[in-house]
Structure 1
């Protein structure tokens, strides 16, 4: 795909994978607008990197709608959106209380957030000569981590959402790409020091290389995630589940 001269909106790019990809896409000659809840952090990143910024809370449907209008008004050449924002929290289903709040919050942010974002921008994207919707699932969409059942479920839903809208929009100018990260060294689940997680810069660099190299990428799979992504096809799913959950 073409990863230069685009105008890209990335809610959830104030840290971690989102910020790493935003910086690399900007270095490739794209105009990058990042979104987040905290205006002070957005202002700092705008100064540091030169990003455009839009305040957005991906758990708030009204704010998603207003931010969608704002980003199109301010950046009418917008032709790519990457739904990066997400949360990952452990749940304990042995407890009578506690896990439901986490589960509902996870569904709202990880699944309804991207759906609402794409709904707010799709009419504009349809009017562009070429446009791209990028979803972000996870290796845990394909092999579950016992600690995070609802996170796993939302990422599996994002995978199937990507498959479905790619089929529906095949007759349009909109390309649908799914990035499938493995465990990456970010603050998500306190993995920043984990030896089992992929270094952030390595993940971001490999992802950008794959986006450049593939004409119609569909899924972006760094080598580290293939152990999870293809477990069922290889026939070793049960073993992969044991290995994954033996690490945590």
Structure 2
């Protein structure tokens, strides 16, 4: 897919992977819009990168309706949606863990939000000669990290949804569906699990996203994810044990 001179919306674009990807895609001659719920971050990122920033909580139905209305009015040529907004809660399962409430919070952002936003924007995407939906999942899409248990659940669910969406849209639309699976990334939220010391820079993810989409790689593995996936499908039990060793 040609990823230049496109109009692109990135959720969670105020920092981390979203910010780096917005920067990379802007440099390729695309019109990039970033959205996020933190007004200060979005305003700052928009000014730094010289692009449009829209304050929007992707879990809020009213806010999503307003975002889509603005896209229709100001950016009717939108051809790429990158569902990047997400959140993770670090904890372990067990009595008193509050897993239900934590899972509900994570699923609202990590799963239900991209499902709703994608479906709402599909009419616009389908009007373009070439279009794409890009879902940012994780290496935990195929095996859990036990200190991020329900976050892992959300990414497994989004992975499954992405595969189904890809197969369905390929039947009668021009909309391609990509999935990006990063391993540990150095972001603001990854510090407690070693992201600052061992995480990949977000700019590497941005480069892999650009290169992967440009080469029609529908599953884009970043960092250690490709090897971790191969290990899992070779010997699932051993792979999961090694993935969670010491936790």
1:36 corresponds to which residue? 36
1:174 corresponds to which residue? 175
2 CA distance for matches of 1:90 and 1:208? 30
Q: Which runs of 5+ in 1 are unaligned?
A: none
2:241 corresponds to which residue? 242
Q: Give the superposition deviation at 1:100.
A: 2.2
2 CA distance for matches of 1:31 and 1:202? 21
- The partner residue of 2:206 within 192, 204, 207 is 204
RMSD across aligned positions (CA): 1.6
List aligned pairs for 1:1-248, cutoff 5 A: 1-96=1-96, 98-170=98-170, 171-190=172-191, 191-195=194-198, 197-212=199-214, 214=215, 216-233=216-233, 235-246=234-245, 248=247
Q: Give the superposition deviation at 1:110.
A: 0.5
After TM superposition, the score normalised by the length of structure 2 is 0.92
Q: Which runs of 5+ in 2 are unaligned?
A: none
Number of residues paired by the alignment? 244
Contact 1:65 1:117 in 2 (8 A): no
Contact 2:35 2:53 in 1 (8 A): yes
After TM superposition, the score normalised by the length of structure 1 is 0.92
Point out 4+ residue stretches in structure 1 off by more than 3 angstroms: none
1 CA distance for matches of 2:237 and 2:206? 29
Contact 1:11 1:85 in 2 (8 A): yes
1 CA distance for matches of 2:46 and 2:202? 21
